[in-house]
Structure 1
Amino acid sequence: MAEFSAPFDGSPIATQSQWSRMARRWGLDGVHADDPGATALKVTGNGTGNVSLAIGEAFVNGFYYKNDATKSIPITANTGSATRIDTVVLRASMSTKTVRAYYRTGGTSAPTLAADENGDYEMPLAQCTVAAGSSVVTATNVADRRWFTDRGAVPSVPGGRRPSLKGQLLVEGTNLYVGDGAGWQWLASQGVADGTYIPQWSAGTTNFHWGTLATNIGRYQVHGRRVDLTIHVVPTANPPAYTDPIQVALPPGFPADPSLRGLFKWSYTSTGSQGSGLGIGMIQPDVSATKIASLRYAIPTGSSASTTHSLTTNTPWDIQTGSILTIDGTYWTA
């Protein structure tokens, strides 16, 4: 197979096929419009024997098309006994060397679009429903089927944003914004779609584990500086009876913001007759920014008061094989 590259002096783009192949790499086929609500190349019906094509511009199979005045396109009469579904298309034709709008008749379903990149290639603009024995299309019988081409995301620096364009994406640092025509609205920030790790457990300065074959998994997602975290444990061994509070490490590389105290909910279910419980987990920055420092639960002390205590490996439950401990919540990173 011969190699080809262009355009260079002495190696130009010499054929329309070469141009089409090159131009298709620049962007997607579609109508140029700020948003789908724009009227660019929109097809409308008014109950006559024609549909109207609005002014606008498009790319079709790598070729440029412009309609600079409202164009009437004749409807093919439906002489059959069933409702017919037709399509208005833009057709790029290698043989006629043009891009033009055409009305294509279908049947009980819309016609199949031509998709020969080296022959005829069609892009839909509208779908028209024509009643049996009719040759007219009303406004309600036209469904918009335009493809739109994108402008891509544009980079920006803080304080130097361009005016907002509706539907335009803008990247500033690790943040993504979308324009609404009046301003730039935050859309997303760099993060981690889905991550897992093996949590490290401790009691005071002593690390411990829940058994060699225990289920011990942490799953997290990062959205900008916010981390969603779930930790799930099913022990296969009874750890020693430590008196210090149970602590568990946060995902590596995502320490907590030391100016905030993150809170989690936790639940415990015993396999024995010890029952179950609920409580709150806390990230205490003065203790550690890389751990949930304690899992707290409340014990009533009277008719309207209670005291809170830290969960340990043996209080108020003797955590053992088959029990389930789940921690779930959100915190902010530094």
Structure 2
Amino acid sequence: MAEFSAPFDDSPIATQSQWSRMARRWGMDGVHAEDPAQTALKVAGNGTGNVTLQPGEAFVNGFYYLNDTVKNVAVTPNAGTVARVDLVILRASMSAKTVRVIYKTGGSSAPALTADEDGVYEIPLAQCVVAAGSSVVTAVNVADRRWFTDSGAMPSIPGARRPSVRNRLLTEAGRLYIGDGAGWQWIGSPGVEEGSYTPQWSSGNTNFHWGTSSTNRGTYQVRGKRVDLHIHVVVASDPGATGYADPLSVALPPGYPCTTAHRSLFTWNYTSDNGEGAAVGVAVTAPSTSTTKISRLRYSMTDGTSASSKPNAFNLYANSPFNIRPGDILDIDGSYWTA
């Protein structure tokens, strides 16, 4: 068959295979449950020749399965001399035209699942260990192996959320939440996976650059209202020779101004390629001065050499305390909050 489409009046779903192929696109195979703690189709051992299957529903190879009462599933006796690892499964059979619970025996390890979409298709419910020479399975020898089907993320209107459902996802106003049963916990918000820009440097009201062949790169990620930022500079010309008299500042990524509620801190690292050593310090936004810049790059010093000397913070200039020249490297790294 080259092409097929259905269901239409003149092109119905005519075979179980066509139904299976279509229904598999609606949702993944598995047990219908809001949380693994629920007992839907859960298997338990009780030390008898049966394990019990709780009521529940599932999809198997696109087919619906319902068990509406507690069901006993017979354990196959182990006539061997070593413990045997078995599975309780749901088996969809195209030839039998059924989905049924099956006790499937294994060996030293659990049996493999069959996954023939046009024949027999199996999904696990539980793993059972049967001791040598035994025909019973105790509670401690049953391990839950249920697969669960995905119901997808639930959209929500702000102010009208449904009650929290454990381990379910909810989307609201572009934000993603996960339920813990008591409330909806925020996971993430729209942002920028990775952005880059060319930072504009300035000294007071005067813009400048580090040379036409310099490296001057800003990279950032945005998560909701938080921006992670890194600025990397490799100097190609000497801006200090121009005599800029004000502290250095640098632009934040375009479109992401800092909040006016507080200052944000970054770390900076300077390494001289001209014999002037290296330094580390703190960069800071000053919203009262500008919301679009890192306004100051500061380093700490004291006013003396004794233990009682008072510390103070000083600003970094293009020519003080270092004469920033070609080959020098300056990095700024940190996060800030947007408005």
Task: Return the TM-score normalized by structure 1.
Answer: 0.92
1: CA distance, partners of 2:107 / 2:94: 27
Does 2:325 match 1:320? yes
2: CA distance, partners of 1:195 / 1:312: 28
8 Å contact kept, 2:229–2:333:
yes
What RMSD, in angstroms, separates the aligned Cα atoms of the two structures? 2.1
The match for 1:331 is 336
The match for 1:268 is 270
Q: CA deviation at 1:101?
A: 0.6
Deviates more, 1:217-226 or 1:141-150: 217-226
Question: Secondary structure of the residue that 2:240 maps to in structure 1?
Answer: coil
Q: CA deviation at 1:97?
A: 0.8
Q: CA deviation at 1:151?
A: 1.6
Q: CA deviation at 1:122?
A: 0.5
Letter in 2 for 1:299: M
The match for 1:44 is 44
The match for 1:295 is 297
Q: Return 5+ residue gaps in structure 2 as ranges.
A: none
The match for 1:308 is 313
2: CA distance, partners of 1:240 / 1:75: 85
Deviates more, 1:320-329 or 1:242-251: 320-329
Fraction of identical pairs, as percent = 64
2: CA distance, partners of 1:12 / 1:64: 19
Matches within 5 A, 1:88-127: 88-127=88-127
2: CA distance, partners of 1:284 / 1:85: 66
Task: Specify whether residues 140 and 252 from structure 1 end up closer, same or farther in structure 2 by C-alpha distance, changes over 3 A only.
Answer: same
Q: CA deviation at 1:322?
A: 4.1
2: CA distance, partners of 1:214 / 1:105: 69
2: CA distance, partners of 1:51 / 1:211: 77
Q: Return 5+ residue gaps in structure 1 as ranges.
A: none
Matches within 5 A, 1:2-81: 2-81=2-81
8 Å contact kept, 2:270–2:329:
yes
Q: What is the aligned residue count?
A: 334
Matches within 5 A, 1:88-237: 88-237=88-237
Does 2:288 match 1:283? no
8 Å contact kept, 2:208–2:239:
yes
1: CA distance, partners of 2:324 / 2:137: 73
Q: CA deviation at 1:238?
A: 3.8
Deviates more, 1:246-255 or 1:145-154: 246-255
2: CA distance, partners of 1:208 / 1:124: 66
Question: Secondary structure of the residue that 1:240 maps to in structure 2?
Answer: helix
Task: Specify whether residues 111 and 215 from structure 1 end up closer, same or farther in structure 2 by C-alpha distance, changes over 3 A only.
Answer: farther
